[in-house]
Every structure is written in C-alpha cells, then in structure tokens.
Amino acid sequence: MIRLGRIAYVNMAPVFYRVDAPFEEVSGVPTDLNRALLAGECDLAPISSIEYARHAERLRILPRLCVSSQGAVESIQLVSKTPLERVRTVAVTPESATSVVLTKVLLPEAEHVPLGEEADAKLLIGDAALRSAFEDPTPHYDLGHLWLERTGLPMVFAVWACPDPPPEGLPELEDALVASVRLARAEPEQLAYEASERYGYPAGFLARYFE
C-alpha cells in the first residue's frame, strides 16, 4: 500500500475529500514531508516546490496536482507593523521551505531568524497564517499577492512528488486524488462543512477560501 503524505493544514481538504483508493496516511507539516519523502519514509507526498527543485534528479512530479495561486493564497503571510521596504529581519516558520526562499526573493536585504525571536516581521504559513489573519490586527501581507505584484506570475508553493522509479499503484492513486479534487469543487458546501468540523474554521469562511 502506498504511504501518502498529507500536509496537516486545512488546504489539503479538497485533495482528501473522497479518495477512492487505498493508502496509508503520513501526516506532517511541509518540511516534515520533505524529509520523509527523501528518507524513503513515504512513497508520495506534497512537498515544497523548492525542495523538488533541489532534488529533481531523484524525484518525479505528478503533473495534475499542486498547491498554487494566481494572486492571494491567504495561508502564507508576512505579518509586520514595519512597512515592508523597511523590514530588515524576518522571523521564519520552521514548517516551510518554499515560502522562506520566496521571502528571500521578495525581501533580499532582510536577515532571517527563527520564529519566536524578535524581528521586524514574521513569516507564517498554513493554519497558523489563517488564524493570525483572524486574530491579529497587525498588517498581513499575502506572499501570493506580493509575488504576482512583483512578477505578474502565478506561484507554485508545493508539488506532489514520488521517488523515481515510482511506486506500484501510483497511476490509480493519482487518478483518485484528482477525482477527489473535482468532486470537492462540485460539492463546495459539503466540503466546507466537513472541513469546518475537522479544522474548526467557520464554514462560510472555508467556502470562500476553497473557491
């Protein structure tokens, strides 16, 4: 049975909405799954796009699945009282690889320190970023929006990847994951309700988030 990585954030809900194929779930934050896939502890996982680029000779991409945005992504935020052009230190989450590199591109003069240390800004991803937008009145800057504003391009934050050669049963599981996303898009209210029950966000917010 394929060991399938699942990022432990609400944005995975559409992919895992109705997966009509057997798998063993391996849950973790993006950097956990990066490590697990490269260590052979899972067979297929959504990993940081920058991590795929670093190890492309060892991995194969599933071309029909990714975590991406054309503009605001909502779940990747720079939080800062300091205007971005004056930010010189950023406290970065240990859960991300792509967003850390993206922050270096967008704020090349800023030094990175571990999250929790004093800094001009902090980088949050996933559910922590979504909660922060609800709870913290400090200005939030969406990295997907900043990237589009800077480059005019969409951003791919994570890709589904597996070792090369791929595990047995991969085509069937890939088809099931893609079908799950399509069904989730066809049933947005049910998706939002179930994700609300699991993750604790208001269903109305999630319905807008998943659009």
Tell me: do 28 and 46 sit in the same domain. yes
Tell me: do 138 and 83 sit in the same domain. yes
Q: Using one digit for the tens of pLDDT, what is the confidence trace for 115-132?
A: 999 999 999 999 999 999
Q: How many CA atoms lie within 13 A of 130 on its CB side?
A: 16
Distance CA 132, CA 77 (A): 9
Supply the mean pLDDT for the chain.
97
Tell me: do 108 and 139 sit in the same domain. yes
Tell me: do 45 and 147 sit in the same domain. no
Look at residue 211 in the predicted model and tell me its pLDDT.
Answer: 86
- CATH number, domain of 53, equals 3.40.190.10
Tell me: do 187 and 172 sit in the same domain. yes
Q: Percent of the chain having pLDDT more than 70?
A: 100
Tell me: do 177 and 139 sit in the same domain. no
Distance of CA 50 to the CA centre of its chain: 12
Tell me: do 106 and 48 sit in the same domain. no
Tell me: do 161 and 122 sit in the same domain. no
Q: What is the pTM of this model?
A: 0.93
Q: Provide the residue type at 76 as one letter.
A: I
Q: What is the span of the domain harbouring residue 204?
A: 3-68+156-209
Give the number of domains in the chain.
2
State how far the alpha carbon of 32 is from the alpha carbons of 27, 111, 124, in Å.
Answer: 8, 24, 16
Tell me: do 87 and 20 sit in the same domain. no
Tell me: do 82 and 57 sit in the same domain. no
